[in-house]
Amino acid sequence: MKIQLNFFESQRTTFNEQIDLTVQSLKAYGDQYDHWVFAWSGGKDSTTLVTLIIYLIESGQIQAPKRITVLFADTRLEIPPLFFSAMQIKRQLEQRGIEVHTVMAEMDDRFMVYLLGRGVPPPSNTFRWCTPQIKVEPMIKKLHEIHRETGNKFLLLTGVRQGESAVRDGRIAMSCGKDGAECGQGWFQVTAPESICDKLAPLLHWRVCSIWDWLKIFAPMNRHGSWNTQLLADVYGGEEAEEINARTGCIGCPLASKDKALEVVVKIPEYLYLQPLLRLKPIYRELRNPSRRKRKTDWQYKKDGTLSKNQNRMGPITMESRAWALQEILAIQNDINSKAPSESQKVYLINSEEEARIRELWRLNTWPDGWDGTEKRADEPFIQRHSDGSITPELFLTESDLSV
C-alpha cells in the first residue's frame, strides 16, 4: 500500500467527467516528463489506458511527451482471442510510429516451465508466485534497462483502477480481485522503483462500466482512433460484460474461482475450437492434491535451530505427476490445434522450446529449493509433528517408522 500522485477526489462522476479527470491528471503530472512508459498487459484496463491516452494526444487534448514506449507483458497464458486482440492493437500502435516492446519471463521462470519442470505447485492465495514472476519482474527488469539506456527518470503509466471510493485516500492496493480489476497492474504501480520512474494511474477513478463503454463503443470509432478493441470487449462478455465483471488474467488462473472470461469465449461460434482450454483449470486443481505432491515428514528447523512452525508441509509435484500434467496439457493443445481454423489461430500453451526445457529439467532431477525428491509422497501415512516437539503417531505406523 502506497500513497501515489492523487488527483482524484471526486464524487460519483459521469463518463466524460472521468475522461476529464484523466486529462487533468496527465496535464498536471505528465508535462514534467520527457518519456512516458506504458505497462500494458492486453487486459481491459491497460488497453483502455494505452488507446485512450494515444487518442487524447492525437486529438490535441494533451501534449505528447518527447518519447512514448509501450511495454506489452506477455505471460504466454493470455486467453487466445485476447492475445490476438493485443497483437492487432500492437500493430496499430506501431503503425503510428510508437515503440512497442514485448516483455516475457526468462525460460525457467515461465509459468509452465516453473510448474512442470521445477515442480512448484500451482499458485494459490497463500503462495502466489505467478504474478511477480511472469508479469512484474520481467517488467521491472525492462524498466531498469530503459533507465540505463536513457539515464533519465520517466513516467510509468499503469492501468490500475480502483473506482472512486477507494481512490479518495490515495492508496493503491495490489489486489486484482476488486471490481474486476486487471491482474498485475497494481503490482506494477507499487513495485516499480521510484529511483528510476514516477508512477501515475490515470484511470484510477474509472468505474468498470466506463471501461466497457470505451472499449465497446468509443475506441472503435474513427474519431477516437479506430482501435480494434471490440474483440477484447466481446471476449469479456459483450453486452453482458458489465454484469460478468471478469477480472482480466491468464487462462485457467488457479486463483480465480471460475474461468468467467474463458467460459464466455468458448461459447462464441468462432472460438468453439478453444473449448479444450476449460480442461486446464481441473489439471491445476488436481496438482494440488496430496497424491500428486511430496511432503516433509522429518523434523523441520529454522535457521536458528529452533523447530519450524511449518511441520509436515506439502511441497512440490512428483515427477510422475509432472509427466502426467505435461501429457494432459499437450493433449489440450493438440485437440485445439487440430480444429484451429488457421495456423495463426493455433495455441501453444507449451511451445517446443518450453517442452524441451521441461524435459531437460526432469533429466537434471530438478526440485524447488529445500527439496531433493527423496521425500515421501504426500498421501502416504506420516507421523504428525508439531512445532512444540510433540508428535501424533499415525495409527498404522510401526515403531520403526517413528524413528524417521
The answer to whether 373 and 367 have CB atoms below 8 angstroms apart is yes
Q: Which is nearer to ligand SF4, 29 or 83 (CB)?
A: 83
The answer to whether 120 and 129 have CB atoms below 8 angstroms apart is yes
Residue 131 CB, shortest distance to ligand SF4, in Å, is 4
Interface residues with ligand SF4 (CB under 6 A) are: 75, 123, 130-131, 134-135, 183, 249-250, 253, 255
Per-residue CA distances from 288 to 118, 127, 307, 361 (Å):
15, 12, 26, 20
Residue 134 CB, shortest distance to ligand SF4, in Å, is 6
Q: Which is nearer to ligand SF4, 123 or 159 (CB)?
A: 123
CB atoms within 10 A of CB 96: 12
Positive or negative torsion for Cα 44, 87, 332, 253: negative
Name the grid cell of 330.
499437450
Cα–Cα distance measured from residue 59 to residue 136, given in angstroms and rounded to the nearest whole number = 32
Q: Which is nearer to ligand SF4, 77 or 167 (CB)?
A: 77
Residue 259 CB, shortest distance to ligand SF4, in Å, is 11
Residue 83 CB, shortest distance to ligand SF4, in Å, is 13
Q: Which is nearer to ligand SF4, 215 or 250 (CB)?
A: 250
Summary count for the chain: helices (H), strands (E): 16, 12
Q: Which is nearer to ligand SF4, 70 or 115 (CB)?
A: 115
- End-to-end distance of the chain based on CA atoms, in angstroms? 45
Q: What is the CA radius of gyration of the chain?
A: 24
CB atoms within 10 A of CB 101: 14
Closest chain position to ligand SF4 (CB): 249
Q: Which is nearer to ligand SF4, 108 or 298 (CB)?
A: 108
Residue 257 CB, shortest distance to ligand SF4, in Å, is 12
Residue 41 CB, shortest distance to ligand SF4, in Å, is 9
